[in-house]
Amino acid sequence: MTRVTILSDNEVGGSRPKGLRAEWGFAADVGGVLFDTGQTGIAADNADKLGLGPYETLVLSHGHYDHTKGLPAFVDDAEEIYVHPDAFEPKYHGVESIGLPYTREWIESHATVNTHRDPVEITDRIYALGEIPRRYPDSSTGEIRDTDGTSRPDPVHDDQPLVVTGEGGLGLVLGCCHAGLRNTIEHAEDVFDRPVQTVLGGTHLRSPDPDELDEIVAWVAERVERIAPTHCTGHDARRKLEDAFGEDYERVGVGSTVEL
């Protein structure tokens, strides 16, 4: 079994240990690997309170600030960082920068940066999935700004989850799932030839279209055994997922642990 402990999320999962804090962002300890860093240093403070870390190996789900801005609190202990190359692109929402706020050169001055588009093994049973094909609609966000100042929609091709492999199936740990939940699940199953059993993390299910949301929830509930949504999962989506999964829906937040 691989234990996942949430270090940064929109809410705290319980009252113990005292002093855990929430923020808009995501980070998790996945079997001793740090997946994302949250928006501030809160994830590092929470890890310390939970007796976790330091982390030699980091994986970034994508290049948005709420998953990467907390990097300085971890980078001095880091030896290797895995990330899709597009995570370094300048990303904007209108005039506001929403991208990775540190240069590749600065990060490389602290740790080895491994960029990849294909699945890569991080440690025993844990893989970064890499770039995900888009058969179903995705959850693209913001714009990419080119060197000449022109902007174009950002498909967030850098979005990737961690995959925890087991004999009977897979566990997915998601950052924001901009690639789309159905696309991500199908690609993981295609790569590893095993079913996805558990999904934990940000699902980006925030569609204002109730019919579209119902379609996605029904598809996922038919395919996956257990779900624990976090971060960028909307209130309507959480309610519909809980109705669909019943006792196999897990409420989680900062400090929560899930075994994969």
Our separate counts of H helices and E strands in the chain read: 6, 17
In total, the chain counts a number of residues equal to: 260
User: What pLDDT tens digit does each residue of the chain (260 aa) get?
Assistant: 899 999 999 999 988 899 999 999 999 999 999 999 999 999 999 999 999 999 999 999 999 999 999 999 999 999 999 999 999 999 999 989 999 999 999 999 999 999 999 999 999 999 999 999 999 999 999 999 887 878 899 999 999 999 999 988 999 999 999 999 999 999 999 999 999 999 999 999 987 788 999 999 999 999 999 999 999 999 999 999 999 999 999 999 999 999 99
Sequence ranges of the domains in the chain: 3-259
C-alpha–C-alpha distance, residues 183 and 214, integer Å: 16
Instruction: Please check whether the domain covering 3-259 is classified as CATH 3.30.70.580.
Output: no
Q: What is the pTM of this model?
A: 0.96
Q: Distance (Å, rounded) from C-alpha 255 to C-alpha 253?
A: 6
